[in-house]
Amino acid sequence: MSMNSTAAPGLGHGLDISGTTPTPFSRLVRVEMRKAYDTGSGRWLLISTAILTAVVMAIQLAVGISQDDVFLTYNSFLTSTNFSIGLLLPVIGIMLLTSEWSQRTAMVSFSLEPRRPLVIAAKLVVGLALAVVAVAIALVLATICNGLYGALGDDPVVWNAGVAHTAAFVLLQVIGMLTGFAFAALLLNTPAAIVIYMVYSFVLPGLFELGAQLMDWFDRIRPWIDFNYAQGPLVDATMTGKDWAYFAVSGFLWLVIPLAIGVWRVLRAEVK
């Protein structure tokens, strides 16, 4: 009898999962959440985000107390974290996806769960959850710092971050995480995705600003193609109808299209 005739069904063409029970999506989310902080780099990146946020607020509090000409409010503390959280949260979004390729675990992940869209969706849910956690930490720290500012300083305490400001702050952090996730899906390489995100966040806005100053026609179209510029009114929660139009068009160019192409690439990428 030949070996081929005794081989178990399905072994010749890959893993046979026809008789297995589909993995619940909630379990996939729990697994991806655990993978986000199980590794040393992921765990320290999460810790560093919280520490950097606290340090930025502490410095701002010290300056506000020591300088008479500086007046701080609750929204001042909250807005200051746009830098600390906005810098590291997208990197977390990047590593959620690219870690499968950088650590060569994609074959295991997609063999245990061949439904790749569900794996990608689970990673996206974890990224959004981490963004919400980061926002919650920022809100708590801003509350503490604003209370200390009123207790230690001479200025009155102002709690001026309403629902609109808080919602805009949440939206900014979610956009940052999604942008990092999109670049990660597009490149499937951690260093490349981080470099491209840094260029997009810190180099490209300067080039757009220079182009707007030198060319009138570019200044007119800039709001439609510069997603960072279009997010500016979100910081102060002063978005108008035209601002939302700029936001939608530029966001489609820099977020929706890269994310769609990246997800398509992950679904078709060869796993080695």
Ranges of each domain in the chain = 23-265
- How would residue 261 be classed by pLDDT, with cut points 50, 70 and 90? very high
Mean pLDDT of the chain: 83
pLDDT of residue 271: 67
Query: In this structure, are residues 43 and 37 in contact, taking their beta carbons and an 8 Å threshold?
Result: yes
pLDDT, average across residues 242-259: 95
- Range in 95-99, 186-190, 208-212, 252-256 with the lowest mean pLDDT: 95-99
> d(Cα 169, Cα 79) in Å, to the nearest integer?
8
- Its pTM stands at 0.82
Q: Is 7 exposed, middle or buried (0-12, 13-18, 19+ CB in 10 A)?
A: exposed
What is the pLDDT at residue 4?
46
| Most confident residue range from 2-11, 16-25, 230-239 | 230-239
pLDDT at residue 103, rounded to an integer: 66
3-class secondary-structure state, position 74: helix
**pLDDT tens digits, one per residue of 55-112:** 989 998 898 888 877 788 888 888 888 777 888 889 888 988 887 776 666 666 776 7
In the prediction, which pLDDT does 37 show? 76
With a pLDDT cut of 70, the percent of the chain lying above it is 87
The confidence score (pLDDT) of residue 3 equals 42
Residue 235 has pLDDT above 60, yes or no: yes
Q: Which residue has the higher pLDDT, 24 or 103?
A: 24
Residue closest to 175 by CA, chosen among 232, 235, 224, 128: 128
- Place 119 in a pLDDT band, splitting at 50, 70 and 90: confident
Q: Are 91 and 179 in contact (CB under 8 A)?
A: no
| pLDDT above 60: residue 189 | yes
Average pLDDT of span 17-42 = 75
Grade residue 43 by pLDDT with cuts at 50, 70 and 90.
confident
Q: Does 11 have pLDDT greater than 80? A: no
Question: pLDDT digits over 73-82, tens only?
Answer: 888 888 888 7
Helices within the chain (DSSP H only): 3-6, 25-38, 40-66, 74-102, 106-112, 116-152, 163-187, 190-198, 204-214, 216-225, 227-230, 232-235, 241-251, 257-268
